[in-house]
Structure 1
Amino acid sequence: MLAKGGCPKTMLSISDALQALEGKWKLLILFALSDGGPKRFKAIARTVNGITDKTLSRELKSLEANKLIKREVYDTFPPAVEYTITPHGLSLEKVLDELHFWGLSHRQEVIGK
């Protein structure tokens, strides 16, 4: 059940969530990392269709700043970098599930497929 529209604390928490997850890519990146195990940059790029390297780099930095993913650099030549979803990022599992189901319903409503 949604909180009623005028609660300032609710508005602030929704604003915080939207700021951390803004844009069309962040939730898709988190979903790509949610199946467990670290992934390298190119593996994420292949999974998230249509994202450019520049955009992926920017979104990964933002997700890391919001403690939703962890970036690990290995001391190799050239340096290997892997990304994993954090427990804080995994806490969005229910949100992703609900977005998935809502998206299916929305597609049916709007497109009829």
Structure 2
Amino acid sequence: MNLPVLAGTLSTVLFALGMLPMLLKAARTKDLASYSLGNLVLSNVANAVHSIYVFNLPAGPIWVLHLAYILASGLMLAWWVRYRDTGRGQNGDVPAASLESSVR
């Protein structure tokens, strides 16, 4: 394996690992109040447009990295829409139902 492909593979793994804490926390808490709908929508649109470029490159680490970005931004947008009324209230308080379920 040559150095550029090795570097691309390593950076892909590191970037993907870097997204995991955010995704795991969002999945666990369902609290996406700190995320901007505009940012999530623009990220997904940008990923769709960037796909035209990426998937015209030879298959390699960049495809895996881009797929990780597509998956992460798609999940975050879907979760934002799905859970926008759950999680923390407008003043930052956790609703009583959330506290009860976290105690169980």
Name the TM-score, length of structure 2 as normaliser. 0.27
Higher relative helix content: 2
The structure whose RCO (Cα within 8 Å, separation 6+) is larger is 2
Larger Rg: 1 or 2?
A: 2
